[in-house]
Amino acid sequence: MKKILVTGGAGFIGYHLIKKLLEDDKNSEIFVIDNLQRGKLDENFSSIVSNKRIKFIQGDLTDLDFYKSLSNNFDHIYHLAAINGTRYFYEIPHEVLRVNTLTLINILEWIKNFPVKPKFLFTSSNEAYAGALETFKQLPIPTPEDVPLIVNDPFNPRWSYGGSKLIGEIFVVHYANQYHIPSIIVRPHNFYGPRAGEDHVIPALSLKIIKKMDPFELYSPKQTRSFCYISDAVEAMVLLMRRESIFDNKNVDLFHIGSSKETSIKELAENLFEIGKWKPKKIIEKPPLPGSVDRRLPDVSKIEKIVGWKTKTSLKNGLRKTFDWYENL
């Protein structure tokens, strides 16, 4: 039986990834690690980890002693554990850097001694190349994977997250090469869906609409993003891990995961007003936070070509599913 480990499994992406693995891979045992600092043992998560094929382990991945209790014969490891959420980048940047970097270093140090190396997937972020987009103003849109990675302002606390992912990519590349760990890196682009917390733009807007907040504050209305529904996103991750040819070349490969549709925050809000059947009388447009880039749209031709993945869920359908979930909380 295949042994799969998901770190940060109680979080948004982890929860939906576990659901996908349970549905698609009947011959697997799934181990889930989370410290529950941000992930929740809510009804959804508690229900899914009650499955006999899942073993939930609560633990701190920044603590080296924690790894002594773990097995060393996993087949696949999905490393999702990290402090995410824009609010945290600004409020506790030191902790974002510490947790995100230490967990990755510790995991790689642990894996390097496995008798048989597992396939390893590291979730980076589109924030890793935000500095290049902001600095050069002329990078291609859609943006390919091989753009320069630049920390353009180390004093901006927003870079606590993007910087941790940028250095994380470098760690994965060189540990993989040195210790022959078959690895891939993915850069998620604005995954959304049920159980995504309250800090990201779609949940935040949905909750304001549900509460009928008027006047209605709308941040960064002219900025654009690529929004990818969570079921499509985790399908991409699983397809990548199953494609043997990706790991045959012995080099670490990198993939964008996101929608090829560019949507402005204003357009996003208008869609949610329509879904919620309510619109405020007064909308107050607010400027973006420092370091937030104006446009973000990934080139996803590489993942489409190699594993045949494309998004299946339209923005309207995904928003409706997400809004309905938050409305019924």
Q: How do 2-7 and 28-34 pair as beta strands?
A: parallel
pLDDT of residue 42: 87
pTM for this one?
Answer: 0.96
Mean pLDDT across the chain: 95
Judge whether residue 41 has pLDDT over 90. no
pLDDT of residue 37: 82
Report d(CA 223, CA 215) in Å as an integer. 21
Judge whether residue 136 has pLDDT over 90. no
pLDDT of residue 23: 93
Report CA Rg, the chain: 19
Q: How far is CA 82 from CA 26, 51, 149, 188, 214, in A?
A: 28, 25, 20, 13, 34
User: Mean per-residue pLDDT for 222-251?
Assistant: 95
Hunting for tokens 């964008």 — which residue is that? 256
User: Mean per-residue pLDDT for 46-68?
Assistant: 95
Into which CATH architecture does domain 2-193+228-259+298-311 fall?
Answer: 3-Layer(aba) Sandwich (3.40)
pLDDT of residue 203: 97
Judge contact between 94 and 157, C-beta under 8 A: no
pLDDT of residue 40: 72
User: Mean per-residue pLDDT for 245-274?
Assistant: 95
pLDDT of residue 57: 96
Q: How far is CA 318 from CA 193, 198, 229, in A?
A: 7, 17, 6
> pLDDT tens digits, residue range 82-134?
999 888 999 999 999 999 999 999 999 999 999 999 999 999 999 998 888 77
User: Mean per-residue pLDDT for 124-150?
Assistant: 87
Percent of residues, the chain, with pLDDT higher than 70? 100
User: Mean per-residue pLDDT for 288-310?
Assistant: 93
pLDDT of residue 264: 98
Judge contact between 15 and 48, C-beta under 8 A: yes
Percent of residues, the chain, with pLDDT higher than 90? 86
Report d(CA 131, CA 156) in Å as an integer. 11
Judge contact between 170 and 107, C-beta under 8 A: no
pLDDT of residue 173: 98
Is residue 185 very low, low, confident or very high in pLDDT (cuts 50, 70, 90)? very high
What tokens appear for 148 in the block?
Answer: 């320069």
Is residue 139 very low, low, confident or very high in pLDDT (cuts 50, 70, 90)? confident
Query: How deeply is 305 buried, as exposed, middle or buried, from its count of CB atoms within 10 A (0-12, 13-18, 19+)?
Result: exposed
**For the stretch 95-130, what's the b/e string if a residue is b when 16 or more beta carbons lie within 10 angstroms of its beta carbon?**
ebbebbbbbbbbbbebbeeeeebbbbbbbbbbbbbb
CB atoms within 10 A of CB 280: 17
> pLDDT tens digits, residue range 4-31?
999 999 999 999 999 999 999 788 999 9
pLDDT of residue 131: 84
Question: Domain extents for the chain?
Answer: 2-193+228-259+298-311
pLDDT of residue 292: 84
Report d(CA 261, CA 275) in Å as an integer. 19
Judge contact between 190 and 220, C-beta under 8 A: no
pLDDT of residue 242: 95
Give the helix ranges, DSSP H, for the chain: 12-24, 43-49, 86-91, 93-111, 130-136, 159-179, 201-210, 230-242, 244-248, 265-276, 301-307, 315-327
pLDDT of residue 137: 73
The larger pLDDT score, comparing residue 192 to residue 1, is at 192
